[in-house]
Structure 1
Amino acid sequence: MRCPDLRSGSLKVAVLYIGGVIGAGFASGQEIMQFFAVFGTRGLWGVALATALFVYLGVAVQTTAVRLESTGYREVLEHLLGRSLAAVMDRLSLGMLLVGLGIMLAGSGAIFQEQLGLPPAAGVLVLAALIVAVLWGGLNGVVTVNAVLVPLKLGLVIGVALLALATAWGSPGSAAHAGASPPGLLAGNWVWAALLYVSYNMVVPVAVLSTLGRHLSPAEAVRGALAGGIMLGLAAGVVAAAIIAHYGQVRLYQVPLLYLAGAVHPVVGVMFSVAIWLAVFTTGIANAHGFAGRLALPGSRGYRLAGLGATLIMVPVALLGFVTLVRFFYPLFGLIGLVLAGVLLSRPVAGFWRERAKIGI
């Protein structure tokens, strides 16, 4: 296997973008089921809309970061929101990144307990140690780990979904049943669900991608955001199609893709549990890097200490349990994310379209 060229700015953007979005919820299939598959085949239109939004917002964030030569998301927020509102959003984002890190640590604990029969604290501490080790390598360490692990977890997720599609045993009634409108915040239609899904998933990528501003050319920024957004859409589409095909069987499971993987073959189920943990790992890195990168220049002593401190602080919080933290914080994250996504959508990337001939795209 040829080692990816880590000097490529486009690769850095793509892997960090994908790594920030594909967390445990995506890899488990639960997010995709709740936001898309529950609408049946109409949910695939929602995936198409979400893909377009991921591409658009990724380009908006990354071109803004390059133009500002940013090293953290504060500069980007001030440009988009103004100084006063940016200060409020900055504090909210810092809190979300910190809590998100704690949730990923708790997720690792849950996986160690359910898959290996070990105490949750073991999974929490192992992931905490690995995240600190990655941050100690600075931005290069973060990019290197994502360049290796993101294609691996993405390949496993798409591979399991394709195998499930190839062996689909669901009746036509399964997809029809999936067409019922879900309750709660997602009630309504697939358009609203797609908008909420993207807004919910943009806070971490904004924090991570903003740290690359001064390290990229405009062309690298755009190409990387395009590639990352398209790959996110492709993965979501394949997973949604697989869940729709098996909806009658998977709708009652907390980890739909793990059920489908085990149904294909027990060995595939074990491999996929690894993919879910990798998703937790890379998302935990993204949260810790976004938090530390806001407080200090990536790679500096202050950055390392901020990452270490954040991880240590969240270890006891993570021991409260994965489900407890997700149920309390994720709905709040979605509402805050709507504000940020709304601002990005209201500021078209006009500068990019005017200057694309200059940057050779």
Structure 2
Amino acid sequence: MKKNLALIFQIGAVFIGTVVGAGLASGQEINQFFTSYGYKSFIGIVICCFIYIAMGSIIIDLSLKYKLNSYDGLIALVSPGILGHATNFLTTIFLIGGAATILAGSGALIHQYFGVSKWVGIIIMIFVSIVALYRDTKGLIEVNSFIVPSLIIVITTLFILYIAFYKDINVSYLKTIPFYRNNWMLSSLIYGAFNVLCCSGVLVPLCLEIKKKRHLVLGVIIGSIGLTFLALIINLLLLLNVPYIFKYEIPLLYIANRFGKPIQMLLLCIIWLEMFSTEVSNIYSVSKNLEELFHISYRKSVILIILLAIPVSQVGFVKLINFLYPAFAVVSFIFMIQCLIFYFRRKS
């Protein structure tokens, strides 16, 4: 019983760790997709929770039924033809691009706060990622089993400190906070679909390893609830600091600054660890895909992707990511619709 519960929580941690990344842990992602829409953003975050549970359960069902090995198999199943090839290509490029950007980000973070060469941060990220990835699925689970609880503790601590110091918070006040964008519903649907496609890269191989539908589905449910809890409290913290947060690349760091260096350093450590978690998830997803498509061994695929990511991280890949994010978001939304159509047609 204890082993089963531990496995369910580990699956939940992997789900959270794959979605969170440095973008959500820093507050920047929540700011862009939710906070700027005002108090209605809380409804959008809850909608995303239902999207994660529903789509996660569908992906698990299809993966187990059709014995899929990677996101390539899932995309080919629900989206055959040119659109499916485009989705697969964009997903692969996006994940490799994400890995490259994280290498650059790790270098920049270490350089900014410790004054050493950015290559120190890049080499550290590569080394720890290879160590984790060479443990295959076990490594993925171990990384997230440590990082995700740490993330929850640090963000919750920041939230409790803020609420303790600033008590004049109520629903009426939240409704008076100005919003800067409309179409919060569309933003929520795109964000949910975006994360579902990213998660499929980890969720599909995980199904192949675990093969217990009940455990997998419960893990996704726990992960979705945990993710929603994190997103809600981060969104509340950001909303209470509008419009000042719009000036900062790491909005949560601005909020943490008022509670002293220890909290600030804890948050920075968590952001780096979430970068590491995302790096491992991205490389793991693409490696499993290359293993299936081209029959390259998993370990060779890991090294190949890292070798591709290193030079790309040096040539301003952020500009390419700025193009890929909107394109990938649109493709993700279309993929989610196709997935739903395929699933319910098969059921009927």
The normalised TM-score by structure 1 is 0.86
Partner of 2:180: 181
Alignment of 1:1-361 (within 5 A): 8-82=6-80, 85-168=83-166, 175=174, 178-182=177-181, 188-214=182-208, 215-296=210-291, 302-321=297-316, 323-324=318-319, 326-347=321-342
| Rounded Cα–Cα distance in structure 1 between residues aligned with 2:237 and 2:197 | 27
SS of alignment partner, residue 341 of structure 1: helix
Among all aligned residue pairs of Structure 1 and Structure 2, give the percentage whose two residues are the same amino acid.
23
Corresponding residue for residue 185 of structure 1 = none
Which is worse superposed, 6-15 or 235-244? 6-15
Moved over 6 A (4+): 169-174, 349-352
**8 Å Cα contact 2:15/2:223 also seen in 1:** yes
Shift, 1:234, TM fit: 1.0
- Rounded to whole Å, the distance in 2 between the matches of 1:349 and 1:137 is 36
The whole-number CA distance in structure 2 between the counterparts of 1:164 and 1:322 is 36
Structure 1 pair 51/296, CA: closer, same or farther in 2 (3 Å)? Answer: same
- Rounded to whole Å, the distance in 1 between the matches of 2:316 and 2:166 is 34
- Tell me the secondary structure at the aligned position of residue 254 of structure 1: coil
**TM-score normalized by the length of structure 2:** 0.89
Seen in structure 2, the aligned counterparts of structure 1 residues 167 and 181 have a Cα distance that, compared at 3 Å, is same
2-structure distance, mates of 1:166, 1:323: 38
Query: Structure 1 stretch 273-282 or stretch 72-81: which is displaced more?
Result: 72-81
Deviation at 1:90, TM superposition (A): 2.0
Alpha carbons 1:124, 1:318 under 8 Å: kept = no
Q: Read off the aligned partner of 1:42 and give its amino acid letter.
A: K
Q: Tell me by how many angstroms 1:165 deviates.
A: 3.3
Cα distance change on mapping 1:51 and 1:7 into 2, 3 Å: closer
Q: CA RMSD in A?
A: 2.8
Q: Which amino acid aligns with 2:41?
A: G
Q: What CA deviation, in whole Å up to 9, does each residue of 1:231-261 have, x standing for no partner?
A: 1111101111111122243232221111111
State the AA in 1 paired with 2:195: N
Determine if contact 1:124/1:319 at 8 Å carries over to the other structure: no
Q: Residues of 2 paired with 1:27 and 1:226: CA distance?
A: 20
Aligned residue pair count: 343
In structure 2, the residue matched to 1:357 is none
1:197-227 per-residue CA deviation (whole Å, 9 max, x = no partner) reads 1122233211110112222211112111111
Cα gap change, 1:74/1:7 in structure 2, threshold over 3 Å: closer, same or farther? farther
**Cα distance change on mapping 1:167 and 1:327 into 2, 3 Å:** farther
Contact 2:97-2:317 at 8 Å conserved across structures: no
Letter in 1 for 2:282: N
For 2:96 and 2:80, locate their aligned partners in 1 and report how far apart those are by CA, in whole Å: 23
- Report the CA distance between 1:63 and its aligned residue: 2.0
Instruction: Tell me if structure 2 keeps the 8 A contact 1:170–1:249.
Output: no
Distance 1:317 1:96 in 2: 12
Greater alpha carbon shift after TM alignment, 76-85 vs 104-113: 76-85
1:266 maps to a residue whose letter is K
In structure 2, the CA distance between the partners of 1:84 and 1:327, relative to structure 1 (3 Å rule), is closer
| Unmatched runs of 5 consecutive residues or more in structure 2 | none
Q: Which moved more, 1:284-293 or 1:59-68?
A: 59-68
Deviation at 1:161, TM superposition (A): 3.1
For the residue of structure 2 that corresponds to 1:41, the secondary structure is helix
